[in-house]
Each structure stands twice: as C-alpha cells, then as structure tokens.
Amino acid sequence: MRSYYPGITLFKVLGCILVVFSHELFLPIMSTMDNRQLSFAGLSFGTVVPGFYLIAGFLAYQGWMHAADAGAYVRKYVSRIAIVYGLLCLLNTGRQIAGAILHGDTSASGLLALGKRVALRIFVEGAYQQLWFIPPLIFGILVSYALVSGGRERQLIGLAALALAAAQCLAGTPSGPVRSAWPELFGSEGARMAAKALVNYGGFGLVFVGAGVLLARHEEAFKRLPVRPLLALTGLLAAAETAFLWRTADWSDDYRLAFSTLPASVLMFYGIVRIRWDAVRRHHRLLNRFSLVTFFGHTLLIKLDLLALGRTHANPGVLQEILISFLTLAQCAALTYAWMRLVKQRGERPSVPRLTEGQAEVSRAG
C-alpha cells in the first residue's frame, strides 16, 4: 500500500499560500527597491518550486511501483497534467490571437512573431505566470521513469549532475564569471530563451524530480539521513554562496538557482515526510482542493480584485498588496467551500487516506 504523508498535504497548502504572497506582495515590492542585493540572501533557500518537484517525483515513483502496470500509470499521470495544461494554453493562445486581430497585426511578420510568443509561453515561460514549471515537471517524470524503470539509475544521476552544472553556469552562483567570459552566448534573445529552457528543464525539472524519484527508491536510507552534518554543510555552503554573490555580482532576475538549494530542499523534504498530524489526514481532501483552487485561480482573482478596487501594480504599496493577498486567499477559501458543498450535494463520499501499519504505529505513539 502506498504511504500517506500528512506533511506533503500541508506543504502544498503552505506553498500555495506563499505563492500568492510572492506574486502579490514580495515580488512587486522587491521590484521597486533600489538595492536588490538582499535577494541573494533568499536564493539558496528558494525551495518552494524544488520542493514541489521533489514531492512530484517521490509520489510518482511510489505510484508506478504500486501500480499493476507502471507504464500505464505514468502515461495516465502525464496525460492528465498535459490535458489541463493544454486547455490553459489554448485559452492563453486564444487571448493572444484575439489581441493581434483587434490591433490589426495580422501580417506575415506579425503572425510569425505571435507564433514565437505562443511557443515560448507554452514551453518556456508557462501559459500563465505560475504554470512555467509544468512542462519541466512532465519532462522530469518521463526521463526519470524511462531511466529508473530500465535499471539505469546511474545514468539518471549523471544526467542530473550535468544538468545541474549547466544550470549553475547559466543561472547560478558561477553564472556571473561565465557570462563575462563568453558574452556572445547570452547576447541574443534566442540564446537567452535557450538558456532559460535549459535551466527550467534540466536544472529544475530533471534535477529535482529525479531527486524525488531516487529518494523514494531509497526511502529507508533517506529516513536515516545524517541530518545534523548535512544541515551544517548546507548552512556553510549557503553562507559562502551568498557572501560571494553579494561581493562580486549585482542582483538580476537571471539568478535563479544556487548549489545549496539542492541540499536545502532535501532537508526540507526530510522534515516534510516526518510530519505526523492526523487532522491533516482527516481533512486532506479539503486541503488538496484549496491548494488546487489557490494555485490555478489566484492570478485571475488578483487581477479581478485590482480591477474592482481600481488599483494597479504600477505603484505598489505594502498595505494594498497585503489587502489583495488576504482577499484573494479568502476568495479561494470560499470557492473551495462551494466546491465541497457541491460534491456533498451530489452524494460523493469523502475518502480518508489509510495509514500503513508502520505509520499507524507512529501516529499512535505521537
């Protein structure tokens, strides 16, 4: 039986709430700061997206290992994500086409430029702001499954190591000296988009989804992880990276991934899988649906709230951003409540994940 981890459900909820505050409060405020060097302090511990990838890889491996047909499970897993993402891409593409028609930009060059923008949106930047991570997630799942199920675990580790090294050279701690040494590699828009795609698919998707798969494959060894030495090493590495970047580089949005993000994410995930909270298990369906509504709906709700209040992000204020953030979360909670009521009226019985025998013993002991 596949194990249930209350900490994963809790992380999804807290992660989605943090995404709302990031998009509505932290990022707009940070963009107006004259000195953005403080952003380097958070680079090493930007573990929300890596955490989602680790969880996805961990659960996907458990899923296909407990499935009667592992290949069919992975195909269904990927197709469900791809269908939802594809519908959102169609919606975004339709909006862009409508905008081009309304502005009369239907020339051959205009349509070619539109096609490039649509392709970038779908495969690199995401159909919408918060969805950029979905294509790399699918890529990471497919590559990890193909290699691990074929007994090529070492190849997965090697590819992930190469991807991490490349991503670091393009968007990590050593990227400043690399850009200075080979400026021609980053001069064109096409080169910048190619670098961004490599970081997304390799540095995030393959590395962290693959790490989640490997942690699930060696779950018992992972639970015996020497936490204190790894915590000390991660702290020292993060401090060294932050100090190096602070003194040698000027912050830009090109910096996206630190070496210490990987061990920091693994440590965070170690804590997540050790959480035992029975209330989360009992209300997991409510919490999962709130996570879905918040993640997919918060961008639209924020735009509607700003429109209704006659506000913009042009001159962000702390009080305005806090108000919009809490208002958006309240709306997400209301939509989740309406969803649950609708399900109840249709007579769907809520399911509660059953604990494995070992988990039940831990729960009773706690």
Q: Which token pair is 227?
A: 């936490």
pLDDT value for 35: 65
Looking up tokens 């958070």 gives 42
One-letter amino acid of 342: L
How do residues 311-344 score in pLDDT, each as one tens digit? Answer: 765 565 778 888 889 999 999 999 999 999 998 8
Kindly tell me if the per-residue pLDDT of 200 is higher than 90. Answer: yes
In the predicted structure, residue 365 carries a pLDDT above the cut 50: no
Round to whole Å and give the CA distance between 145 and 153: 10
pLDDT greater than 60 at residue 350: no
Residue 359 has pLDDT above 50, yes or no: no
Residue 4 contacts residue 353 (beta carbons within 8 Å): yes
Q: Are 272 and 15 in contact (CB under 8 A)?
A: no
- Identify the weakest region by mean pLDDT among 53-57, 68-72, 152-156, 224-228: 224-228
- Yes or no: say if 194 and 116 are a contact pair by the CB < 8 Å rule: no
What pTM value is reported for the model?
Answer: 0.86
User: Which two tokens mark 121?
Assistant: 């949106």
Q: Are 332 and 301 in contact (CB under 8 A)?
A: yes
Q: Residue 26 pLDDT more than 70?
A: yes
> Ramachandran region of residue 309, left (φ > 0), alpha (ψ -120 to 50) or beta?
alpha
Question: What are the structure tokens assigned to 362, written together?
Answer: 């831990």
DSSP class per residue in 167-186: HHHHHSTTHHHHHHH-GGGG
Q: How confident is the model at residue 42 (pLDDT cuts 50, 70, 90)?
A: confident
CA distance 146 to 204: 18
Average pLDDT for 145-152: 95
Residue 315 φ then ψ, to 5°? -130, 75
Given a contact cutoff of 8 angstroms between Cβ atoms, the answer to whether 142 and 78 are in contact is yes
How far is it, in rounded angstroms, from Cα 71 to Cα 120? 29
pLDDT tens-digit series, residues 82-133: 998 999 899 888 888 887 777 777 777 777 888 888 888 889 988 777 789 9
Query: Which runs of E-coded beta strand occur in the chain?
Result: none
Listed in sequence order, the residues at least 6 apart from 24 whose beta carbon sits closer than 8 Å to its beta carbon are 298, 302, 321, 324, 325, 328
